[in-house]
Structure 1
């Protein structure tokens, strides 16, 4: 859930953009034909020219366009408010309904009152709970991935707002169903199978999950902003995600201790459904009717044709090295999503088994782990402004720094021996919130407005499918190293982040062949 600033300047020479050279080999010949004169006029025209492929548009500029970020904040608050509690309920109900242990014993799992017997029971229960969580992730992957095939075309044809509303409705229904399951479990002393929570994912999956809201939100921001303003709106979008996660994590542990899990789920559901109602009433549609794709014949709406359309948009020849750079940046985003999904599927269990943390201790850790990158992300506005004064590749530099931050943080978690070292890992990961918005900024700057929906939809589909592999792989690594070194999965995460750093280094080399053309994309 998450991404950040997408700073983009407007392309310098339109004649150069549409040169006759091979689009995939680079444009050294066109760069030479322009000579040194183009460099001397760049400072004077970069502020007024347009981004690559961005047609002039007139977007709604009412204050209501700034309501998107608060709505995203509410959604992420509700998500994180229930996230850890849901994982805890799955473990608890796996203990009672799955293994038949008494309710009084199972409630001691993950508490400070744990005994040697409860620790043994937890080691027995965790693999079972991990399978339940994995099943939930699989359901949450398959159907949203299918819906995501249509998300880009729907966004370009019907607008961004309907997709946002569908996603919010799905999350609201998920937590309503989860509240009902948790209430029944409370009334029967936990004798409700945790597999029922898989059912709660179905309405969310059918309505698109995070695939639809992320595609719609990024396209919305692209519609109503341009140039540097777009970078700052995307930073604000990322901050809304982090602040929402922060507030949800901060309040979750305290509310759970004072009430019960079904109350926590109910609060999440009410928050999201209230935001949905306000969104329907107040948020304007960002895509003008005249810019929407005309309805296509029914044969063009098949899954196969939509896949072909998205793939051809992604892989078609482009000017200079745009296609290669676009695909490489997409792979970096997929790697970060892969690690995030895989690590999240086992990290809570890792902290319980390694340091015996309670729900409250873990949510307090989550609060700090969200707060630190959020503050760094807000400072990213000043950071990116400062970098633009001294480098022509500010966005790329920030992406590098972010991946290095991710890598060092994962290594610290892997070799942590005491709890305070996990907090050191938070400090090492201070800039981790910047990689997604920086990469999305570069992608947005490389694409014309009418292609962004398809590209981000395809990216969303691939990110939705990645947990099928990542969660399965991470669960397998975790369960097989549970008795010896349960933190090994963090080393694997660091390796994947290191791969992302290498890929960005390749992008750096490619863009260096045509500095003038790519300055507005990476600055």
Structure 2
């Protein structure tokens, strides 16, 4: 298999040939070989682009629909000017409740069960389905939002129906499960953390790219233009995944045993319980505690990511930022957080064999300082200083996922990442109501409280990284 064969060579050669020795392979063959390594990464990049298209635009859509549903157009045009603070707080309270709590429950609660099934399916039948199924949900969500934009008179709460297919398809957690298991199955131990970091780096590069596209499209074509483009990209990504991805990557076809397992067996409570229990199995060298530690860390990281739903609302409230001002800041902030993934992690991981927990500690500490600065920012330009402190934050997920992939055998990759996805799915169900309550209660007193709370959680994850560091 081409992918498996290519992975036998290091991504970064330790010893370069001396002199002017040139490869005998033609350039086109080298390019073909390089592109043969690209599998799930392309699908994840396109998803991240779509997320960038949606991230700010969807919040703005909620604000516009809620405001125009309750107040006149004259008030809504100057809602963030400070002339109508009571109306602004009412709209923000509604949006934070519906968008950051109810929508999250709809998207993540069904996914709790879906990711367990997909994890078992991935190990026993097909590693492609956990990647493909979420895109079906994303496509239906885009079409649902489009319907709400076209029929503008529909109440804002109808936007919640668009989130239903995402939950039934497993959502982003199923995509992360599928991507992590797929990459781990086709990569060597030495390059696994780097390849998982590349996935995170693609996300950090694609999200601002999507936001950059969204701004001019929104200016010219409005909400319908943005979400039509999103639906088109998702449909193309779904087609790519069906054609490009393999059911059993990293396994020689002629030597692999028949892996067909009955659907009843996969859906049986015993099989699902077996998938969950993989994290608690006794292992040599204290690996079990390290596995549990990294799962807790990833769950905490997902809990804190819930603050992302409030950054736009926070800057509108405190600094009177509009859609375009926030998009400019957001486009800059996301790639900066990927610098660690792009340069620091590959160099230290591959060349100097630095342990994954060190990268996690650096990233978690970076997140902590970023939230502290955002929480205490007195003026808008201080938010740009917070961007600078996030330079290593992108390394956290890759560090813990890479560590987990090395602590379990290949046949348990789907199971262990389904447990991770389970924790990642449950956390937003908890963080949504918690952060929504904190934000709404402190909106008039100290709106940055949500970021201070997040900083405390990141301090805890930094301590956990120090705990799981192998002495």
TM-score (normalizing by structure 2): 0.88
User: Does the aligned pair in 2 maintain the 1:149–1:306 contact within 8 Å?
Assistant: no
1:85 corresponds to:
57
1:74 corresponds to:
46
1:427 corresponds to:
388
1:518 corresponds to:
none
Please state how far the C-alpha of 1:384 moved relative to its aligned partner: 1.6
- Within a 5 Å distance, the mapping from 1:48-447 to structure 2 comes to 63-97=35-69, 99=70, 101-110=71-80, 114-117=81-84, 119-133=85-99, 134-185=101-152, 191-285=153-247, 286=249, 288=251, 290=256, 293-296=259-262, 298=264, 301-302=267-268, 304-340=269-305, 342-385=306-349, 388-389=351-352, 393-447=354-408
Aligned residue for 1:284, secondary structure, equals: coil
Please state how far the C-alpha of 1:231 moved relative to its aligned partner: 2.5
Residues 38-79 of structure 1, C-alpha deviation per residue, up to 9 Å, x if partnerless? xxxxxxxxxxxxxxxxxxxxxxx9944413212211111011
User: Does the aligned pair in 2 maintain the 1:64–1:282 contact within 8 Å?
Assistant: no
Cα distance in 1 for residues equivalent to 2:349 and 2:116: 36
Q: In 2 relative to 1, CA 277–298 (structure 1 residues): closer, same or farther, beyond 3 Å? A: closer
Greater gyration radius: 1
Cα distance in 1 for residues equivalent to 2:137 and 2:273: 27
Residues 426-458 of structure 1, C-alpha deviation per residue, up to 9 Å, x if partnerless? 101110000110111111111100111111111
Cα distance in 2 for residues equivalent to 1:497 and 1:355: 25
Please state how far the C-alpha of 1:356 moved relative to its aligned partner: 1.0
Cα distance in 2 for residues equivalent to 1:104 and 1:267: 30
Cα distance in 2 for residues equivalent to 1:256 and 1:211: 28
Cα distance in 2 for residues equivalent to 1:297 and 1:460: 21
Higher RCO, 1 vs 2 (CA within 8 Å, ≥6 residues apart): 1
Q: Which runs of 5+ in 1 are unaligned?
A: 1-60, 186-190, 513-523
TM-score (normalizing by structure 1): 0.79
Aligned residue for 1:66, secondary structure, equals: coil
Please state how far the C-alpha of 1:382 moved relative to its aligned partner: 4.6
Please state how far the C-alpha of 1:305 moved relative to its aligned partner: 2.3
User: Does the aligned pair in 1 maintain the 2:366–2:390 contact within 8 Å?
Assistant: yes
Please state how far the C-alpha of 1:211 moved relative to its aligned partner: 2.0
State the superposition RMSD in angstroms.
2.1
2:438 maps to which of 461, 465, 477? 477
Residues 306-364 of structure 1, C-alpha deviation per residue, up to 9 Å, x if partnerless? 44112221111111210011101111111111000x20232221111011111111111
Count of aligned residue pairs for this structure pair: 436
Cα distance in 2 for residues equivalent to 1:301 and 1:382: 39
Residues 476-510 of structure 1, C-alpha deviation per residue, up to 9 Å, x if partnerless? 011111111000111111110010111112112xx
